[in-house]
Amino acid sequence: MTKQYFGTDGIRGRVGESPITAEFMLKLGWAAGKVFSEMGRGRILIGKDTRISGYMFESALEAGLSSAGVDVSLLGPMPTPAIAYLTRTFNAQAGIVISASHNPYYDNGIKFFCGQGRKLDDAVEYAIEAKLGETMATVESDRIGKVSRINDAAGRYIEFCKSCFSSSHNLKGLKLVVDCAHGATYHIAPSVFRELGADVIEIGVSPNGLNINDNVGSTHPQGLQAKVLEVGADFGIGLDGDGDRLIMVDELGEIVDGDELLYIVASYLQQQGHLGGGVVGTLMSNLGLEQALLAQGIPFVRAAVGDRYVLAELERRGWQVGGESSGHLLCLNVTSTGDGIVAALQVVAAMVESGKSLRELKQKMTKLPQRMINVPCPATVLSAPAVLAGVKHIETRLQGRGRVLLRASGTEPLVRVMIEGEDLALVDGLAEELAGIVATAGAT
């Protein structure tokens, strides 16, 4: 079966264009409410990031859910992983996130969590889509859902994050920069690290509804790099608009990406005797990560791109740690979903425990040159004869000492072209060549 609305990371698109409209969100709230109410009466939490359209969609979802007879609790601006956590701790039936993650302000989307703080099963998403095809009808007035606001949500989540860091350690003497991308962590992340004892310099903490992810955060780390060097910080932490992704910057201003962070966390847990198995990456994970983990006797497997696939593979194997190059890290030993703040705390714990800097901790992993180019075109080009021939030709030129990967984005109308190999100049040239072939095929 093919889903009409749900993609790999919920429902996402440009605001004002179907399905990201107030009218659709009203119907979506009602449809989700009907599906969940059939499972028993309970409340649903709604949180959002800082983009201006979140207010509109929050109201529409609230109306739809209450018209279906579901009680609603509003969280206000909160990171995606915070909503997962609060859904669990409040024993809610589900949680809804209004966010488009790392996308610009003019996009938005909806993600759901089940009562366990994990993404919905396919069966529930299919059931919601089926309800969307029915006529909306409001329950009797005495059954309309009640709406309330949880005023201490931020404080609860800050305390949870702090609990993920050993009480036997603190961050006194460390200076760090935190970039919140003008997003949902703006009122949370600086407090977490400051209350643990760090000297915190914060940037990207002035959201106005339009500046989320705008040249700030994990997808635009240049400002974070410059600030780390300017203030002489020990390291920097870069989060995305909804707080589920992380990149870091070392004391020399160099980026430490998701693959390197995953290596640091896994190595630390292995040394502590708490890894509990191996590590799950994705098809995009750098070959250097795999090589470095295997050198330490840590098994490594690849899942399809997308945190839900990483999570599924972790659960299938009974492992705890996985993630993506983009910085979406899963630490199931402490939380149920990707969490930028919690992941950063795991990295910082490795630093404090070892007495080593971020730069020193990443030294045992050597990344192979990798180049990815996003080509705006439909996914159908992946089966075009010219593209298939181009891939075969480039694989031959790599002579078995690299990888070629083409995949359609699950959140944007793009095809991602990735080449990995030992020689940087060759990798760059082959990536440009294949991206040109894809673009040409997409235009015809």
Q: 155-365: same fold as 11-151?
A: yes
- Give catalytic residue positions: 101
Domain residue extents for the chain: 11-151, 155-365, 370-443
The pLDDT value recorded for residue 76 is: 97
Summarize the annotated binding site as residue ranges.
Answer: 101, 240, 242, 244
> Which of the 8 DSSP states describes residue 383?
G
The pLDDT value recorded for residue 91 is: 96
* Of 334, 279, 325, 287, the residue nearest 306 (C-alpha): 325
Convert the pLDDT of each residue in 289-339 to its tens digit.
999 999 999 999 999 988 889 999 999 999 999 999 999 999 999 999 999
More confident residue, 331 or 8: 331
Give the Cα separation of 327 and 219 in Å (integer).
Answer: 10
Convert the pLDDT of each residue in 119-143 to its tens digit.
898 999 999 999 999 999 999 999 9
The pLDDT value recorded for residue 27 is: 98
Q: How confident is the model at residue 224 (pLDDT cuts 50, 70, 90)?
A: very high
Provide the CATH topology of domain 155-365: Alpha-D-Glucose-1,6-Bisphosphate; Chain A, domain 3 (3.40.120)
CB burial readout 121-157, b (16+ within 10 A) else e: eeebbbbbbebbeeeeeebeeeeebebeebeebbeeb
* Of 196, 141, 137, 200, the residue nearest 163 (C-alpha): 196
Q: Tokens 């993630």 label which residue?
A: 323
Q: Which CATH architecture has domain 11-151?
A: 3-Layer(aba) Sandwich (3.40)
Pairing of strands 11-14, 94-98: unpaired
Give the Cα separation of 364 and 288 in Å (integer).
Answer: 10
Pairing of strands 255-256, 329-331: unpaired
- Contact (CB, 8 A) for 85 and 160: yes
The pLDDT value recorded for residue 276 is: 87
The answer, yes or no, to whether the previous bond of 19 is cis (omega within 30 of 0) is yes
Query: Mean pLDDT across the stretch 23-52?
Result: 95
The pLDDT value recorded for residue 49 is: 98
Predicted structure pTM score: 0.90
Provide the CATH topology of domain 370-443: TATA-Binding Protein (3.30.310)
Lowest-confidence range among 44-48, 188-192, 230-234, 288-292? Answer: 288-292
Summarize the annotated binding site for Mg(2+) as residue ranges.
Answer: 101, 240, 242, 244
